[in-house]
Amino acid sequence: MQLIDIGVNLTNSSFDERHQAVLERAYAAGVQQLVLTGTSIDGSEQALELCLKLDESGQRLFSTAGIHPHCASDWNGDSAQRLRGLLNEPRVRAVGECGLDFNRDFSPRPQQEKVLEEHLALAVELKLPVFLHERDANQRLLEILKDYRDHLTAAVVHCFTGEQQALFSYLDLDLHIGITGWICDERRGTHLHPLVREIPRGRLMLESDAPYLLPRTLRPKPKNGRNEPAYLPEVLREVARHRNESVEDLAEHSTASARAFFGLSAVN
């Protein structure tokens, strides 16, 4: 059984000096390929550096490059040039993390929207998929996406935590959906239990979002409270349970979706 973690924040400081051990535990758990999330220009460059340093084979580690909506205020002409350079690197397989976050509003909403459109335009030009973040901004994200969707190769709403209306609106645009350990959270994630059944095969992918979103169903829990890609099988089990699928079947079709989305070949 092989899994692909489509969203891991390996550049997070909590993983410093632990990268190799984290990856070895992931591989041992069946997580054979990982996509490292870029959330700023510097962070995207660091993610690419980790891919090149920790995976000389070029088969296991890949990354995204983009600016998270929290950091949209940092966007400038230099950002655009550096981002374009990153997106031309073979290991960088998607544009993002980019999108809208109207929950925390760390950057002004008009600036978030402008930066999102810059990312979408690059994705169209370079024929790359998009790795999207959305929180409390479903309707506005849809309005912006509709102007680009026909020209985008693909897009995933990563770490989906929304309600049924939001899910169906994204599926209507033929978007992929990323599910994390949020579904394992009995305090705030139970609404996802019936919703994951509605995601068609070929549109569902799994992600840890490590070091965040440690699955609360995990036993035993790590004392440090830090999520790792090695715990992705717990997300797999929970999603499979609510889709009435075997873990083997879900692993097979979610991995196939991720390979197609990011243009990955199976590990030899």
Q: 193-196 contacts: CB < 8 A, separation 24 or more? A: 193/242, 194/242, 195/163, 195/164, 195/167, 196/239, 196/242, 196/243
Q: What is the pLDDT of residue 77?
A: 85
Are the C-beta atoms of 101 and 72 separated by less than 8 Å?
no
Q: What is the pLDDT of residue 130?
A: 98
Computed over every residue of the chain, the mean pLDDT equals: 97
Q: What are phi and psi of 131, to 5 degrees?
A: -110, 105
228 is in an annotated binding site: no
Closest to 156 (Cα-Cα) out of 137, 181, 136, 173? 173
Count Cβ atoms below 10 Å from residue 249 Cβ, excluding itself.
12
193 is in an annotated binding site: no
Domains of the chain: 3-262 (3.20.20.140)
133 is in an annotated binding site: yes
Q: What is the pLDDT of residue 134?
A: 97
pLDDT tens digits for range 76-106: 989 999 999 999 999 999 999 999 999 989 9
Is the per-residue pLDDT at 1 higher than 90?
Answer: no
Q: What is the pLDDT of residue 212?
A: 97
Are the C-beta atoms of 148 and 181 separated by less than 8 Å?
no
Is the per-residue pLDDT at 181 higher than 90?
Answer: yes
Query: pLDDT exceeding 70 applies to what percent of the chain?
Result: 100
Q: Using CA atoms, how far apart are residues 158 and 176, in angstroms rounded to an integer? A: 8
Is the per-residue pLDDT at 222 higher than 90?
Answer: yes
242 is in an annotated binding site: no
